[in-house]
A = this chain, B = another copy of it.
Amino acid sequence: MTTQELIRQIHRKKSFLCVGLDVDMQKIPAHLLEEEDPIFAFNKAIIDATSHVTVAYKPNIAFYEAYGIKGWEALHKTIGYLNEKYPEIFTIADAKRGDIGNTSAMYAKAFFEDLGFDSVTVAPYMGKDSVEPFLEFEDRHTILLALTSNQGAFDFQTKDTEGRELYKRILETSGKWKNSHNLMYVVGATKAEYLADIRRIVPDSFLLVPGIGAQGGSLEEVCKYGMNENIGLLVNSARGIIYASGGMDFAGAAKTEAEKIQSIMAAVMPG
């Protein structure tokens, strides 16, 4: 998907909501456990209930890997369902991969070709040649970790690195890599006060912002400091939406929560 198509979808839905599909078998409604594939049944219901106000879905790959081959089958079915029924919706494999060049090329193949995601999250620690194999894919997007939503972000990411905090150095350096127009960045909502500084370095890039809801970040603050003229934000909520209810009404409850967030988004969007 091109960035322009994503922007058009955002304006059409008046939403920049990304729903995180972090599916934990211990948290999904008990009646789904009788289904042949409980994870996919859960995802399908959540997607169908929220797609009208959602511009991106983000399966968190760890949650699928934890269930082994069954988990991968559920992931395949989920991305297949999204690509077939909702091709206009942006898809994010939240995988946080990154390795030496020939290995990153295999990960890129896995997520862009085998699974067919529009984008994948990538860790920057191994530098340029670990990221460029992902960037080679045109109209696919590489979402590089910059400033993450967790407490551990302060261990290394915010440390001064030759006169720049590490995450700022990563934003600046990665902008010089080949095909850097295919980059987006992860910035946690729990660190919204950093967004103004980040926007000075990457004014045009899309930012994937996890951390509202269960992690405590504020949507209003994120919009205030992070929005650019193309909106430029994908704000993720996972647990707050997908586990809004643990009962038979889980999909309806997810719909209600997603619509609540979308209405806040619509109110702050220009035009």
Contact = CB atoms under 8 A, between A and B. Distances in A.
A62 B107 contact: yes
A116 to B, nearest CB: 11
A110 interface: yes
Interface stretch (A33-41, A81-89, A97-105, A201-209): A97-105
Contact of A129 (B131, B151, B159): B151
Interface stretch (A5-13, A67-75, A223-231, A263-271): A67-75
A213 to B, nearest CB: 13
Interface stretch (A49-57, A118-126, A245-253, A254-262): A118-126
Interface stretch (A135-143, A165-173, A191-199): A165-173
Nearest to A24: B106
Contacts of A100: 148-150, 152, 215
A179 interface: no
A89 to B, nearest CB: 22
A240 to B, nearest CB: 14
Contacts of A124: 125, 156
B127 A98 contact: no
Given A68-B76, A72-B68, A96-B99, A126 B150 contact: yes
Contacts of A71: 110
A173 B156 CA distance: 9
A128 to B, nearest CB: 5
A1 interface: no
A73 B69 contact: yes
A69 B69 contact: yes
12 contacts: A60-B99, A60-B103, A60-B106, A62-B110, A69-B76, A98-B123, A100-B150, A124-B156, A126-B153, A129-B150, A129-B152, A161-B166
Interface of A: 22, 24, 60, 62-63, 65-69, 71-73, 76, 94, 96-104, 106-107, 109-110, 114-115, 123-131, 145, 148-157, 159-162, 166, 169-170, 173, 215
